[in-house]
Structure 1
Amino acid sequence: MNASRDTTDGEHDGHARSRVAALRAVLAIGVSVFAIDLWLPSSLVLGSLLILPVLASAWLQSPRFTNVVTVACAFAGIFGAVIGLGGGATSPPTTVALQMACSLFVILVSGQLALMRIRSEVRLDRSRELVATALRSIADAVVTTDRNDLVTLVNGPAQQLLGADAAAARGRPLDRVVRLERDPQTMTPADPRAPRRRLLVVTEGGQEIRRPVEVTSSPIVGVRGEDFGRVLVLRDASDVVAFEERMRELAYRDGLTGLANRRSLEERLDLELKHARRARVRLGVLFLDLDKFKAINDTYGHRAGDQLLVAVGERLSAALREADTVARISGDEFCVLVPEVGSREDLGVVANKLLDAVVRPVVLEGVAVPISPSIGAALYPDDAGSADELLSCADAAMYRAKGLGGAGWAVHDGATQRWSPAAHAAVEDPRRRPNDARSSANDAPTAQRTPAPHEGATTGNSIENGTRNDR
């Protein structure tokens, strides 16, 4: 802003010096022509030369000053002619009068032409000033160039965004002032007039920083179609990008637990199935539903219920590999994708690990609340060949586990569901608090470990040798 103010002050000083020089030129020309006209009063040409100071006055762009000069030159022409007649001019009086009339006509017409030129220049200057003021006042960063792509204007927001001084940028090639790179994460809009997302490269503290910006480039075309350059409008898109990332996160993430949501799970499942078909490996799917979650909500409130869901999500994530996917698909239902699982036994190991991770009590409102899940598991391609069928098989196995008392897991084997009978344990009703006098040590919640997978799950034929030893 200081640079812009210094530039404006310099322009004002230049205009003041030009006005003084023009004023001196008008006076010098007027006096010289009048003196010569007095010396040779019969000369029509020299009398007509009084139009020169009139035309010169137009440079000052002051209608009042031009009118004064015009009137002064007209009186000077008349005065010179009168003196010439009184001094014994060689030309007849009629000729001298005609010369004077012609001189007055030329002077007055020249004065009117000069006024028209002044008014046009004033309107043009005001229009330019208005455009320049608008470009400087606009909130977006604006950079204009000439037809050779040399920078002609950089407004205040552009100076801040680019970290460039307006005076230093003026006259430089545009690509040296505004460095733009294509943003690989954005698509080119179908409408060429729409803003395009680019990465603006700026240097701060000796380091290059890339900021997302929306760029609109438009040609500056005259009324006759001539090319005067172009105007570049840049808008900082950092907030827009952050908002888009937030919307994308909300679209694919559960807002409460931060886990993947149903939409994200479905897309991930499609990708994992394609990979499993291509690599000829198995894919495991587990459905997990919390037992007696409604009773916990009714007893401790929905806020405590939300805390419980967050805790379960964290436990599931901690018990899985980075390659696995855990999603909250609704209420108290979770789904887990286990890619490249070796066999049905390995899937049972995963289910048992998730069971052990979840059955630990959760402290809600200062009370250790016992929880347990019912888990159903299904295997691709042994149980189903499509995403919907695979989810249905896991869901059916989960309801089988819940129907047998919960706190356990069941594995679908295609035609029937196999249940691990000793996997579940009696779980205390959460509405009976541990410090309740009616509770006793005999009915305290317990959790038994699931037996070895071969006790409750059928063994499927492996597509490829090898098991998940990292479990």
Structure 2
Amino acid sequence: MQEALLGILDFVARFTGGHGGIDDEVAVYFVLAGAMWLNLLFFALWRRRNEANSREALLVLGFSAGLARELFMLAMAIGQKALMVDPRHLHAFFPPVEHVLSGVATVIVAAAFMRYLTGDFFLARNYLGIGITLTLSCYIATFSWWADYITTNPASKFGQTWCDVLFHTIAALLLVFPTWHLFRHRTGWLRNIICFALVCFFLTETLKLVDIAYGERYEYIFTPIRRSFNLIGIYVLGYVYIREQESRRRRATAKVVESEKRYRTLVENVNMGISLIDGNNRIVMNNGYLEKMFRKNAEKLTGRFCYQEFENRDECCDNCLGVEAMTTGRAVSREVERILDDGEPSGLRLSAFPVFNEQGKATKFIKVVEDITDRKRAEEKIRRLAYYDSLTGLPNRPLMMDRLSQAIRHARRHGEVVALLFLDLDRFKDVNDSQGHRVGDRLLQEVAARLSGCTRESDTLARLGGDEFVIIAPGVRAATDASLLADKILAALAEPFTLDRQTLHIATSIGIVLFPSDGGNGEMLLQRADMAMYAAKDRGGNSYRFFSAEMNTRAVERHELEEDMRQALTNGEFFLMYQPQVNTGTWKVVGVEALVRWNHPRKGVILPSRFIPVAEETGFISKLGRWVLEEACRQGAQWQHDGLPPLQMGVNLCARQFTHEEIVGTVSDVLQKTGLPSELLEIELTETMLMDSETAVSTLGQLKALGVRLAIDDFGTGYSSFNYLKHFPLDRIKIDQSFIRDIGQSRGNGAIIEAIVAVARSLGPEVLAEGVETEEQLRYLMSITCADIQGFYFSRPLLPDDVSRLIRESLPGFGTHHFTN
């Protein structure tokens, strides 16, 4: 056993130089160590070239230093074997250089692994600088003295021993810090293995110091152990490095696979078509959404030219997105409209992104196709909402003003005339309030259609809102052309409208202005056309008027009237007058009709014909109507309190009041507040308020439930007057004064009056004739037994005190004499 152990030690000693000197077996050790360093160097160089990893640079330097040390040792062995080097010169040069190369290699490798594993570049740099500085300092301090000493004392080992102690001590100390740092700051199996390798290098240095301490008597034992530790350390570092690189490669591959999976998931699920196209404009791949978007399968798209599929061309476009992207190296995009294979139009946004190869040259590009059809439709819808009327589809005010400005600029350059017609439907609010907004909207649509039929292709028909329309007619020759257009419009709207089996009639008032005579800009023309329109309305509507200077003055007065009216109710400027209603059988006053007047502080008493239309247009009529109802009921209750006989108090309701859902509650509150008996209140309505029969029947029923009387005013002017007598709970009908005025002049009117009285007698409502002004009219009405009369022949409207005096002074049998003029 002892002999076998001694044989093994002898072999190891010969192989590793344990007997001193450098022979063939020792050269094998250096070749093996150099091969290991060389293998690590090649691997590090390959990694650095393929992955461009900056952390490999220090490793390349460390592995190069280790390889250089082993090559140097091998060169010394070959030189000594071939007697190419004088042994004295060899011993004078060899130990310092060997120690420097060994120390530098150890320091660089330790620093490289610190940088590689911890990522702390500054710590590794500082450690490397200190280690190389100390190693080179030792070399500089010993080389000159060492060479002189060996040359003088070739058989002495003192110099070599002193030099070895210095170098190996520095090397051992330099290995302590990286070993301690990695052990403290690194976890896992990798830390333990790296620390084990560094410990092997540490033992390589310290065992040499132990050997020197024993006078190198046991060199044959320590040297093979030291060099075995060195080989183990190199092997372990190589194993760790290659294993870590393989682990990193697997992790990188896994990340690439995961990234590819995420990329594929993203590409397949994004609501955009994505296609990879090569430099020849052929489609390499595409996602499923692109196939769905173009209604084509992958086989039909792959390999095809992109300009055939995306641009519907047989050759590459002059402004190809992909070519531009690859040429400029940046993303480009464009919006286009395409007709797909199924014939459907589609809005597309095409974007191209360059794809670069390893040399930084764009060889492919990614084309992204986004379906923007819905966005385009939404934009068009927004544009239409911004510039077109949603009900009629006509241009709205902003677009109309823009076109008017364009027409004015064109006319100014070419010396032409532009006509502007401002239309406002007559009594449209009555239709809207009585029939409901649904019927009103349909009527506006029908009116817009008829107006479109009256205009030229070069004209602009616009709706400003409500029942107002504007027509811009460029290139007219004179005012005659505008008059012809207005006549055409009036004739078109004169035809009845049939909506929901109901026949409606509507007319319009038209104001006309001309550029450049009536104004130099759009706002002025529109304002003056509005004035002219109101002038047409003042003439009874269903007509047109051209603007004149006098209209501007009237418009200013109308504006002042509107502003003053808003303060008149608060200031108590409105008051009521009452026109008596007389029974021809008893010749007694049986009722009165409340009529509102305005006592203007500067203009005196203003009649309703001037301010009621303005109140209706501004909406002030609701407040004014509530005040009239409450004041009339209060006065009626006061007359009862004063002991006068019961009098019917007639109060007119406007369409806005009647269609308001709170009218029943309003009447009930007023009756309760004023104390007037409900049977003495008579609500007077117009025929247009009763057109929406369902709503009217419901409202009239609720009013009748309160106990008030219901009368229809201006009876006979509508188109279905007699139907109202059958369907509605009316207590009285008031024959319109237009029929009374023509008694004795038109036999037709007399026949109508007789028919009204006869039908009313058979159905139950009382009959009252309005506007009786002559004795002839009175005698005729008495001859057909029309019981109740109202008009100037008997009395004009009176103040409350005059009404009281009239009733007290009247005597039975008054005969045909009127009460007061």
Query: Where do 1:122-271 residues align within 5 Å?
Result: 122-145=254-277, 151-162=283-294, 165-166=297-298, 169-170=301-302, 174-175=306-307, 178-179=310-311, 196-199=333-336, 204=341, 211-220=346-355, 229-271=364-406
Query: Where do 1:7-46 residues align within 5 Å?
Result: none
Structure 2 unmatched ranges of 5 or more: 1-31, 44-223, 320-328, 553-685, 690-714, 723-732, 740-747, 753-821
- Residue 341 of structure 2 aligns with an amino acid whose one-letter code is E
Relative to structure 1, is the Cα distance of residues 114 and 214 closer, same or farther in structure 2, using a 3 angstrom cutoff? same
Q: Which has the higher Rg, Structure 1 or Structure 2?
A: 2
> How far apart are the structure 2 equivalents of 1:168 and 1:368?
61
How far does residue 123 in structure 1 lie from its aligned partner after superposition?
A: 3.6
Structure 1 SS opposite 2:391: coil
Relative to structure 1, is the Cα distance of residues 111 and 331 closer, same or farther in structure 2, using a 3 angstrom cutoff? closer
Does the Cα contact within 8 Å between 1:217 and 1:231 map onto a contact in 2?
A: yes
Relative to structure 1, is the Cα distance of residues 165 and 299 closer, same or farther in structure 2, using a 3 angstrom cutoff? closer
- Residue 124 of structure 1 aligns with an amino acid whose one-letter code is V
Q: Which residue of 1 aligns with 2:453?
A: 318
Does the Cα contact within 8 Å between 1:220 and 1:229 map onto a contact in 2?
A: yes
Q: Which residue of 2 aligns with 1:372?
A: 507
- Residue 521 of structure 2 aligns with an amino acid whose one-letter code is S
Q: Which residue of 2 aligns with 1:63?
A: none
- Deviations along 1:396-427, one digit per CA (max 9) or x if unpaired, are 1111111121111111245669xxxxxxxxxx
> How far apart are the structure 2 equivalents of 1:225 and 1:442?
100
Relative to structure 1, is the Cα distance of residues 319 and 291 closer, same or farther in structure 2, using a 3 angstrom cutoff? same
2:496 to 361, 366, 376: 361
Structure 1 SS opposite 2:721: coil
Matched, 1:384 2:642: no
Q: Which residue of 2 aligns with 1:435?
A: 720
- The count of residues paired between Structure 1 and Structure 2 equals 337
Query: Where do 1:39-118 residues align within 5 Å?
Result: 117-118=249-250
How far does residue 348 in structure 1 lie from its aligned partner after superposition?
A: 1.3
Does the Cα contact within 8 Å between 2:331 and 2:353 map onto a contact in 1?
A: no
- Residue 397 of structure 2 aligns with an amino acid whose one-letter code is R
1:285 to 408, 417, 420: 420
Query: Where do 1:387-426 residues align within 5 Å?
Result: 387-413=522-548
Structure 1 unmatched ranges of 5 or more: 1-43, 56-93, 184-191, 418-427, 445-471
Does the Cα contact within 8 Å between 2:353 and 2:365 map onto a contact in 1?
A: yes
Q: Which moved more, 1:274-283 or 1:357-366?
A: 357-366
Please, what TM-score do these two structures have when normalized by structure 1? 0.59
> How far apart are the structure 2 equivalents of 1:123 and 1:389?
72
- Residue 198 of structure 1 aligns with an amino acid whose one-letter code is E
> How far apart are the structure 1 equivalents of 2:546 and 2:489?
14
Q: Which residue of 2 aligns with 1:273?
A: 408
Relative to structure 1, is the Cα distance of residues 193 and 113 closer, same or farther in structure 2, using a 3 angstrom cutoff? closer
> How far apart are the structure 2 equivalents of 1:263 and 1:109?
76
Relative to structure 1, is the Cα distance of residues 360 and 224 closer, same or farther in structure 2, using a 3 angstrom cutoff? same
> Identity over the aligned pairs, expressed in percent?
30
- Deviations along 1:195-239, one digit per CA (max 9) or x if unpaired, are 94422657637x8x8632123434456999786754332211111
How far does residue 313 in structure 1 lie from its aligned partner after superposition?
A: 1.0
- Residue 334 of structure 1 aligns with an amino acid whose one-letter code is F
Relative to structure 1, is the Cα distance of residues 194 and 315 closer, same or farther in structure 2, using a 3 angstrom cutoff? farther
- Deviations along 1:103-122, one digit per CA (max 9) or x if unpaired, are x9889987776565445434
Does the Cα contact within 8 Å between 2:355 and 2:363 map onto a contact in 1?
A: yes
Relative to structure 1, is the Cα distance of residues 442 and 370 closer, same or farther in structure 2, using a 3 angstrom cutoff? farther
Please, what TM-score do these two structures have when normalized by structure 2? 0.36
How far does residue 261 in structure 1 lie from its aligned partner after superposition?
A: 1.1
> How far apart are the structure 2 equivalents of 1:172 and 1:302?
58
Q: Which residue of 1 aligns with 2:9?
A: none
Relative to structure 1, is the Cα distance of residues 101 and 377 closer, same or farther in structure 2, using a 3 angstrom cutoff? closer
Q: Which moved more, 1:169-178 or 1:148-157?
A: 169-178
Relative to structure 1, is the Cα distance of residues 115 and 296 closer, same or farther in structure 2, using a 3 angstrom cutoff? closer
How far does residue 175 in structure 1 lie from its aligned partner after superposition?
A: 4.2
How far does residue 334 in structure 1 lie from its aligned partner after superposition?
A: 0.9
How far does residue 377 in structure 1 lie from its aligned partner after superposition?
A: 0.6
Structure 2 SS opposite 1:204: coil
> How far apart are the structure 2 equivalents of 1:397 and 1:322?
25
Relative to structure 1, is the Cα distance of residues 182 and 396 closer, same or farther in structure 2, using a 3 angstrom cutoff? farther
How far does residue 379 in structure 1 lie from its aligned partner after superposition?
A: 0.9
Q: Which residue of 2 aligns with 1:11?
A: none
The two structures, once aligned, show a CA RMSD in angstroms of 4.4
Q: Which residue of 1 aligns with 2:817?
A: none
> How far apart are the structure 1 equivalents of 2:361 and 2:330?
20
Relative to structure 1, is the Cα distance of residues 375 and 153 closer, same or farther in structure 2, using a 3 angstrom cutoff? same
- Deviations along 1:233-266, one digit per CA (max 9) or x if unpaired, are 2211111112222222222211111222111211
- Residue 435 of structure 1 aligns with an amino acid whose one-letter code is S
Structure 2 SS opposite 1:244: helix
Relative to structure 1, is the Cα distance of residues 247 and 197 closer, same or farther in structure 2, using a 3 angstrom cutoff? farther
> How far apart are the structure 2 equivalents of 1:195 and 1:227?
14
